[in-house]
Amino acid sequence: RSMATTARQSLKIGMLPADGIGREVLPAARAAILALGSSIPKTEFIDLAAGFEHFTRTGTALPDETVNILQEECDCAMFGAVSSPSRKVTGYSSPIVALRKKMDLYANIRPVTSVAAEPTGKPSVDLVVIRENTECLYVKQETQTVTENGKEARATRLITERASRRIGEMAFKTALSRPRKHVTIIHKSNVLSITDGLFRETVRAVPTLPGVDGRYDEVTIAEQLVDSAVYRLFREPHIYDVMVAPNLYGDILSDAAAALVGSLGLVPSINAGDSFVMGEPVHGSAPDIAGQDIANPLAAIRSAALMLRHLGYGNGADRIEKAVDQVIREGMVLTPDLGGKSKTSEVTQEVIKRI
Ligand code: GGG
């Protein structure tokens, strides 16, 4: 399916709230999209099942029907959050990890930006983490054996040239669209010289690929070992623009970066492939606060904006993002993670009013 906007008379959005606060923040994203009215095509939402809670009821975390509807009927999707247990549960596998692979959503794009006068007192941040979304340790090939010395567990870490190249291309393309046009490649190839070495070399070589024809000449490239990248991220976050990383490092780095802008509840993402896009707040299912109407809906709302921008509806995305920024700047109606006392529903209403 083409991502071009011209062919689209209507927009079918698969909604997968999944677990915990995913079920509270996805309605906020839906309300924000609906508030755009006729400035985007007529929108239809299709509610789809997924998640650990669904698994406990039915024995499946990602029904085939969900994947089929996404593939056959939807133009895009929104995912909430999932509560996978930290122990092995027979028959269960993370639906979000599976979905990213099944839909070939190979790039997880996570912009982390501080809004001026945010109630954080932290240094200003304007970066985007481009996380490879289909391989690394998330291929989930783990085994355990019992030896004479006790249990031994192993995990396969897969890094391919193909996946590294396409995430590298996404990083350079993203850098071109940003004022600073700077890419930092994150790796640990001083220790993992074969796997991270392949990632590093392949991403570095993107500007010299046949057909690129100097398109990325303006983009400057740096690289950083992942541990020192975390250190520098906390001390001098302004040095980063586009950070491109294998799956696990990207997952960790983007949560770390979220701490710099006040809350994980503010950070959006999209899972993007060549023909499908799925918005998803970076935060998890937060079982400790689920059901209390206090989860921050802004990451989910911003994820809806990113998804719309990716589909070509830049004006709609701008309207949502400006409304969110205003609510944060004004600082009057905020959820407890940002020091406020307001409910999810109240914050959502403030955003809707401003759209
Ligand atoms: N929306 C992001 C999210 O759900 N994060 C938690 C996460 O990644 N969990 C992995 C899992 O539970 O399978």
Whether the CB of 111 sits within 6 Å of ligand 1: no
Ligand 1, atom 4, lies closest to the CA of 81
Q: Predicted ipTM? A: 0.92
314-330 vs 298-311: helix axis angle to the nearest 10? 160
Tell me the mean pLDDT in the region 17-36. 98
Ligand 1, atom 3, lies closest to the CA of 284
| Type and span of the H or E element at 14 | strand 10-18
CA of 8 to the centre of ligand 1 (A): 31
Confidence of residue 2 (pLDDT cuts 50, 70, 90): very low
Give CA torsion, residues 1, 247, 222, 215, to 10 deg.
-10
Whether the CB of 280 sits within 6 Å of ligand 1: yes
Tokens of 40: 């985007």
Residues 6+ apart with CB under 8 A from 74: 12, 13, 14, 46, 276
Whether the CB of 281 sits within 6 Å of ligand 1: yes
For ligand 1, pick from 15, 55, 96, 282 the residue to mutate: most ligand atoms within 8 Å of CB.
96
Confidence of residue 211 (pLDDT cuts 50, 70, 90): very high
pLDDT at 41: 94
pLDDT at 115: 82
Quote the pTM value: 0.93
Residues 6+ apart with CB under 8 A from 275: 1, 2, 3
pLDDT of 121 higher than 60: no
pLDDT at 189: 97
Could you read off the pLDDT of 298-346 as tens digits, one per residue? 999 999 999 999 999 999 999 999 999 999 999 999 999 999 999 999 9
Tell me the mean pLDDT in the region 146-165. 97
If one compares 119 and 269, the residue with the highest pLDDT of the two is 269
Could you read off the pLDDT of 37-59 as tens digits, one per residue? 999 999 999 999 999 999 999 99
Could you read off the pLDDT of 166-188 as tens digits, one per residue? 999 999 999 999 999 999 999 99
Tell me the mean pLDDT in the region 154-163. 98
Confidence of residue 6 (pLDDT cuts 50, 70, 90): low
Ligand 1, atom 1, lies closest to the CA of 81
CA of 98 to the centre of ligand 1 (A): 11
250 neighbors 129 (Cβ within 8 angstroms): yes
pLDDT at 7: 66
pLDDT at 333: 97
Cβ-based neighbour number of residue 310 at 10 Å: 19
Tell me the mean pLDDT in the region 136-162. 96
Mind telling me the catalytic residues? 138, 188, 227, 251, 255
